[in-house]
């Protein structure tokens, strides 16, 4: 299988997690070709939470796809990839994937992952979660997606938000068998 990973970024809170994930991939896994697709909502959260524009995020990725380019390579099941992570994943994007309503490239790429039975990891974020959100996440879990919300973890004694962020990134990369230096596992 080709060493390519799709990184989708949607408009939920948590843009710094996407930035850190791309940095980790670039620094520690240069052999993996990252394919980045960013939603319109994510452009806003990126600016609000990181003070960054899409161009700066794009510089961290291997290949960048515009979200309206529905004919891009990652829109096809014949384009070989390891899988896709959507980080953060908004409830609108969750709803789009759960219903198969693929009206942008990010949604289409996720849809392809499901139909090809490839790994799809959703760093889904909202609080509190409505019954609609829970139903969609439940359905996606049943369809094989990994629901990995960016929840706080205290057992590794984080000293900063960056520590917390790195821990979530470590868990996301773990889903693809990729190491994340500094990710502290529970050893009992």
Ligand X SMILES: Cc1cc2nc3c(=O)[nH]c(=O)nc-3n(C[C@H](O)[C@H](O)[C@H](O)COP(=O)(O)O)c2cc1C
Nearer to ligand X, 32 or 146 (CB): 146
Which residue carries 């094989």 as its tokens? Answer: 144
Could you say whether residue 41 binds ligand X (CB under 6 A)?
yes
Could you say whether residue 11 binds ligand X (CB under 6 A)?
yes
d(CA 88, CA 38): 10
Residue 85 neighbours by CB under 8 Å, 6+ apart: 5, 6, 7, 8, 21, 121, 122, 123, 172, 175, 176
Could you say whether residue 34 binds ligand X (CB under 6 A)?
no
Nearer to ligand X, 119 or 133 (CB): 133
DSSP structure class, residue 73? G
Residue 79's closest CA among 53, 46, 112? Answer: 112
Cβ(152)–Cβ(164) below 8 Å = yes
For the bound state, the minimum distance from the C-beta of residue 178 to ligand X, rounded and expressed in Å, comes to 25
Nearer to ligand X, 80 or 130 (CB): 130
Q: Which stretch binds ligand X (CB under 6 A): 9-17, 19-27, 144-152, 169-177?
A: 9-17
Tell me which residues in 51-90 interact with ligand X (CB under 6 A).
90
Could you say whether residue 137 binds ligand X (CB under 6 A)?
no
Using alpha carbons only, what angle is made at residue 126 by residues 144 and 33, rounded to the nearest 5 degrees?
55
For the bound state, the minimum distance from the C-beta of residue 136 to ligand X, rounded and expressed in Å, comes to 11
Q: Which stretch binds ligand X (CB under 6 A): 10-18, 27-35, 112-120, 144-152?
A: 10-18
Pairing of strands 63-65, 83-89: unpaired
* Residue ranges binding ligand X (CB under 6 A): 10-13, 39-42, 44-45, 48, 90-93, 125-126
């Amino acid at each position: 299988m080709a060493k390519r990973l799709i990184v989708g970024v949607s408009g939920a809170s948590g843009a710094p997690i996407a930035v850190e994930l791309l940095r980790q991939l670039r620094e520690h896994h240069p052999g993996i070709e990252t394919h980045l697709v960013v939603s319109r909502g994510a452009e806003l959260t990126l600016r609000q939470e990181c003070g960054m524009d899409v161009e700066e995020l794009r510089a961290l990725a291997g290949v960048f796809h515009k979200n309206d380019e529905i004919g891009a390579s990652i829109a096809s099941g014949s384009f070989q990839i390891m899988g896709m992570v959507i980080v953060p994943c908004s409830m609108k994007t969750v709803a789009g994937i759960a219903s198969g309503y693929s009206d942008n490239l990010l949604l289409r790429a996720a849809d392809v992952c499901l139909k090809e039975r490839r790994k799809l990891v959703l760093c889904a974020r909202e609080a509190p979660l409505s019954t609609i959100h829970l139903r969609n996440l439940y359905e996606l879990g049943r369809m094989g997606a990994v629901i990995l919300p960016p929840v706080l973890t205290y057992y590794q004694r984080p000293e900063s938000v960056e520590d917390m962020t790195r821990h979530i990134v470590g868990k996301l990369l773990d889903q693809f068998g990729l190491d994340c230096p500094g990710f502290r596992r529970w050893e009992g």
